[in-house]
Amino acid sequence: MSQRYVGGELELFAEATHWKSYFGGVLRPFVGGRVLEVGAGIGSNIPFLCNERIRCWTSLEPDPALARRIDAQIAAGSLPLRCHVVAGTIASIAPGARFDTILYIDVLEHIADDVAELAGARRHLAPEGHLIVLAPAHGFLFSRFDAAIGHHRRYDRASLARLAPPGCRLIASPMLDSAGFFASLANRLLLAAAMPSPRQIAVWDKWLVPLSRHLDAALGHRFGKTVVAVWRAAD
């Protein structure tokens, strides 16, 4: 099933290389084997999560135009050749296909029925495989920006943990970007912008994300504007 993506932020956040490097480092220990990235966008997460343990990478993207962009990057050699693209949703994956890692990077909040979505993903998770979700945190931070790019919700640790599919055990749930929380709060209360400017993204990525690396560690990853859940399949 294909659908056009309504958001316009992918190009902006593709330039946020400090942020992608940061969360990539947090998630990479759980990423390996056969990888499925759901809602892969323009493929900008792949270079930050790829590692020597990955056998193949499937980019699942429901917007055909975005899927073609990933395909073009693979053909041009700017993404690894062991990557390939499927245009569609989790329902488009062959029933017998199994993956060692399934990723939802800033994607689950776009999906109306998140419970059914993760249940569908669970059917494709190999034994001992990891299901990983990274999503925006704190419902009170929901802003015009969230609405403009098609978010249905934001999460906290408890609400995300409750989405655990049957047969999966939560093994990690760090929060990230404690410094960025205050920038998001300012936008929610003061600026109320529907889309951040390139300058705002650059300032956040260059100055706040490096600060968050230190603050998050000092806070034990208990606070931030982004929440992560990593589940492991029992069998």
- Strand 226-233 relative to strand 125-136, pairing: antiparallel
Rounded to 5 degrees, φ, ψ at 6 are: -85, -20
> Which run of H or E residues covers position 185?
helix 178-186
Residue 224 in contact with residue 181, Cβ under 8 Å?
yes
Q: Give me the tens of pLDDT residue by residue for the chain, a chain 235 residues long.
A: 556 655 567 787 888 999 999 999 999 999 999 999 999 999 999 999 999 999 999 999 999 999 999 999 999 999 987 899 999 999 999 999 999 999 999 999 999 999 999 999 999 999 999 999 999 999 999 988 888 888 999 999 999 999 999 999 999 999 999 999 998 888 777 666 667 788 888 999 999 999 999 999 999 999 999 999 999 998 7
- Cα 157 to Cα 163: distance, rounded to the nearest angstrom: 10
Pick from 72, 1, 87: which is nearest to 40 by CA? Answer: 87
Would you state the pLDDT for residue 81?
A: 76
Terminal Cα-to-Cα distance of the chain (whole angstroms)? 29
CATH homologous superfamily of 10-233 equals Vaccinia Virus protein VP39 (3.40.50.150)
Q: Which of 137, 133, 136 has its CA nearest to residue 121?
A: 133
Identify the helix (H) or strand (E) that includes residue 126.
strand 125-136
Query: What count of Cα atoms within 13 Å lies in the side-chain half-sphere of residue 176?
Result: 23
Q: Where are the alpha helices (DSSP H) in 29-82?
A: 46-49, 64-76
Query: What is the spatial distance between Cα 203 and Cα 121, in angstroms, rounded to a whole number?
Result: 36
Q: What is the pTM of this model?
A: 0.95
82 close to 110: Cβ distance less than 8 angstroms: no
Closest C-alpha among 12, 20, 38 to residue 177: 20
Beta bridge partners of residue 226, listed in sequence order: 136, 176
How many angstroms separate the CA atoms of 94 and 212, rounded?
A: 40
Residues 6+ apart with CB under 8 A from 224: 137, 175, 176, 177, 178, 180, 181, 212, 216
